[in-house]
A and B are shown apart, each in its own frame.
Chain A
Amino acid sequence: MRQDHLISAANLSREGIEAVLDRAAAIDADPAAYRQRHAGAVLALCFFEPSTRTKMSFDTAMKRLGGTTVDMGTVESSSVKKGETLADTVRVVEGYADAIVLRHPSEGAAKMASEFVDVPLVNAGDGAGQHPSQTLLDLYTIRERAGLDDLSVGIMGDLKYGRTVHSLAHALTNFDVRQHFISPESLRLPRNVRFDLHESGAQVREHTELDAVLPELDVLYVTRIQRERFPDENEYRAIAGEYRIDEETLAAARDDLSVMHPLPRVDEIAPEVDETEYATYFQQAHNGIPVRMALLDGLLTRAKGGKR
């Protein structure tokens, strides 16, 4: 089994992260220099769950490197519908492509799939598990705005099932960051992530209310509280309303606070925030292209035996 996959942010080192972010910055500064860098290379997009942003940004990133993509389409139109295992699917797709991007509803799916292929495989989300490429673009955005050391980062919303949160929390342990987790009690970080944060010696505090910590934050990373997690619609509404950000909420924030969100949002950030200096989430989404170009560039170059 090759080791050069991107499965979990827990496997990312500070050096590895900075290498990708530095390359992304170079691409951002001179995109034309990378236009034919992977001409002829093929990236397979295997999305077993609906996706707009992640799928389109990987597609765009590969094409801007001069390569092409093949897309397995929806699950309903694929051989998965006939009962094919994921292991078989990726072994077949490996023959078509130089790298695979996989999104799957089961936790651990990318880890398992990586054991069956020799081409680089990127986890683009596995259930409530991990979403490490999102984390790289999150870190790129944080670095642009505030650097990556001596920071207070608040992460708020559905921390239990939010895979972007799990990956970001792991990755931030590589830096001098105080992590504040704000959520309803029922949606606090899962035990395995808290275990890893404790083992890494991370500076972590958990809160049920934003007010207590907002004034000290450099970054507030908001995620959607998912309606489907609540059996009772009224309970969902009561909780979701408490974790909504608007201009009034942000009156207590520092002027240089960055409000981030992996998107899509529903109503957890009021539209009025979009026009403020706090709003960083659209830039964050745009950063997906150079960061995923940098990630693919590194994986494809190393797979060919070249140096980064």
Chain B
Amino acid sequence: MSDHELRVSKIRNGTVIDHVAAGQALNVLAILGIDGSAGEGVSIGMNVPSDRLGRKDIVKVEDRELSQSEVEVLSLIAPEASINIIRDYDVVEKSRVDRPESVVGLLSCPNRNCITNDDEPIASKFTVVDDGVRCTYCENIVRDDIADHLDVQT
């Protein structure tokens, strides 16, 4: 066990999201809708040393296993992340995130003149392009700081 893994305690059951880009841990929790109000145990390591990333964040959520759709949206802000499902302290499943084809209702369009920012009965919809996402309505492309446009509170 390396030093940085000791910074946050092991969990018995749940999910460990590893290799999150440094500084994105709180956005990962926002995407998952986790704010502690449901009583789940959450451990966060931020800016811990990483051989692969230099610095990384790590998120451990007790008693919750991520769904495929949750893993997909994670890929938008943490494309290098790995997902470890833990049962009785053992890793029973380990996977990398896959980028989805589209995300609906998750991001707000940064183009203030986009119809999705008017008071219309539609959800935002973005298609995922090579290195970003693209609004299906105004066709604006978001490449940098995607997490800034999350339609959830951090």
Kindly state the interface size class of chain A when it binds its partner. Answer: 20 to 34
- Within the complex, the shortest CB–CB distance from B148 to chain A, in Å, comes to 17
Q: Are A86 and B120 in contact (CB under 8 A)?
A: yes
A286 CA to B27 CA, complexed, in Å: 54
Which DSSP category, helix, strand, loop or mixed, fits chain A's interface?
A: mixed
Closest B residue by C-beta to A111? B137
Q: Are B121 and A128 in contact (CB under 8 A)?
A: no
- Within the complex, the shortest CB–CB distance from B19 to chain A, in Å, comes to 28
Given A107-B114, A108-B115, A127-B113: A85 and B137 within 8 A (CB)? no
Given A106-B113, A108-B135: A191 and B121 within 8 A (CB)? no
* The one of A115, A129, A191, A195 that contacts B122, using a Cβ cutoff of 8 Å: A115
* The one of B119, B129, B137 that contacts A107, using a Cβ cutoff of 8 Å: B137
- Within the complex, the shortest CB–CB distance from B137 to chain A, in Å, comes to 3
- Within the complex, the shortest CB–CB distance from B116 to chain A, in Å, comes to 7
* The one of B113, B116, B120, B139 that contacts A192, using a Cβ cutoff of 8 Å: B139
* The one of A10, A107, A192 that contacts B115, using a Cβ cutoff of 8 Å: A107
A44 CA to B26 CA, complexed, in Å: 49
Which DSSP category, helix, strand, loop or mixed, fits chain B's interface?
A: loop
Given A107-B137, A112-B137: A87 and B113 within 8 A (CB)? no
CB neighbours (8 Å) of B56 from chain A are: none
> A105 an interface residue at 8 Å Cβ cutoff?
yes
> A65 an interface residue at 8 Å Cβ cutoff?
no
Q: Are A192 and B121 in contact (CB under 8 A)?
A: no
> B140 an interface residue at 8 Å Cβ cutoff?
yes
Closest A residue by C-beta to B109? A108
* 25 A-B residue pairings within 8 Å (CB atoms): A10-B139, A86-B118, A86-B120, A87-B121, A104-B115, A105-B113, A106-B113, A106-B114, A106-B117, A106-B118, A107-B137, A107-B138, A108-B116, A108-B135, A108-B138, A108-B139, A111-B136, A115-B122, A126-B115, A127-B138, A129-B139, A190-B140, A192-B140, A192-B141, A195-B141
Known: A10-B139, A87-B121. 13 other contacts (CB 8 A): A8-B139, A85-B118, A85-B119, A86-B115, A87-B120, A107-B113, A107-B140, A115-B122, A127-B113, A128-B113, A129-B138, A129-B139, A192-B141
